[in-house]
Amino acid sequence: MAFLLPIFGFLCGLGLASISGTSSLKTIFSSVLARCFIPIVIIYNMVFYQAGSLALMLFSFSVAIIMFYLFRWLLKDSLRALCVSYLNLAWLGFPFALALFGPEISAAMVALYVGGSIFGNMWAVTAVSSAQLPWQNIVKKVAMSPPVFALIIAGLCRLAGLQHVSEHQFLDVIHQIAKVGMSFTGMCVLGMWLRITRVQWIDLKHSSQIYLMKIFVGIVICSISYFYLPIPNIEQNIGVMFMLFCLPPAANIVALETHYQGTGVSARYIASGTILSVCLISIYGLILHLLK
């Protein structure tokens, strides 16, 4: 079921994109995903905290910074570097993580998502904007972003002692509904988006070269983390940590680029990266299945 749900959502998105008058659903689903389903999952997992979440947040945040400056140096292009480091952890990351590793990985994925989202809110606008933003504006933007706002609510809930409540079946049901909704809407939006995006062979070729470098960097970073960093439960989480390096660029990069630069170059990077990422994660899932 965990594997079929993302596929079903993706196929629904492909079908809906072919029907006239349904383009607004993409915006609605994206908003519900970012402002409802993901915050619910974050709040639940942070209230009923699991050891290692803070370490995974720092890992995700640090990896994004390393990837951004490394690839900006290699590619001499801030926009392309942002597409390498600011990842689609919402639409594609969550559904595939649940499909590959099961519901028990949701707490780790939440922590990785929060770290990546904080990076995106701090670096994305700066990378695509020609004007330097005041640090007060950046701090305000980060503080009011849905994942950080959800963390604040989770902290208040923990201060109120909600984590000590022994009977929380109602919260469990809400959490399960949010996870199902997150997988379906995320993959549905992805299907609707890819249905109307044209990708050329040269885009796939360039993205393939970048993914080869990303995978190599991922192997190095994950190996160092596994053997030398004191991350709790890393044996259970190393698989999803490595999956970060297989994910495509965040889709809202093109919206930011269009707003600040008046161009849409990143759309090609995002589309080709998403296609390759789906193929790569499918292969990764097959390898994990064979190793079990």
Structure confidence by residue, pLDDT tens digits, 246-286: 999 987 787 677 667 777 678 788 889 988 998 999 999 89
Q: Please list the residues that pair with 249 across neighbouring strands.
A: 87
Give the pTM. Answer: 0.82
Confidence bin at 151 (pLDDT 50/70/90): confident
d(CA 106, CA 101): 9
Q: 15: exposed, middle or buried (C-beta count within 10 Å: 0-12, 13-18, 19+)?
A: middle
Query: For the CA atoms of 178, 112, 10, 249, what is the dihedral angle to 10 degrees?
Result: 140
Q: Where are the alpha helices (DSSP H) in 160-200?
A: 169-195
| pLDDT for 130 | 63
| pLDDT for 32 | 84
Confidence bin at 133 (pLDDT 50/70/90): low
Domain ranges of the chain: 4-291
Q: Is 2 a residue whose pLDDT tops 60?
A: no
Q: Is 39 a residue whose pLDDT tops 80?
A: yes
Of 127, 133, 124, 111, nearest to 241 by C-alpha is: 111
Q: 96-99: which pairs have CB atoms within 8 A and are 24 or more residues apart?
A: 96/6, 96/243, 96/281, 96/285, 97/240, 97/243, 98/2, 98/6, 98/179, 98/183, 99/2, 99/3, 99/5, 99/6, 99/183, 99/285
Per-residue CA distances from 286 to 11, 226, 289 (Å): 20, 22, 5
- Mean pLDDT of all residues in 119-135: 74
Which range has highest mean pLDDT (44-48, 90-94, 171-175, 210-214)?
210-214
Q: Most distant CA pair in the chain: distance in Å? A: 56
Q: Which of 24-33, 71-80, 167-176 has the lowest mean pLDDT?
A: 24-33
d(CA 155, CA 114): 14
Run of H or E including 11: helix 4-17
Q: Which residue has the tokens 């000590």?
A: 164
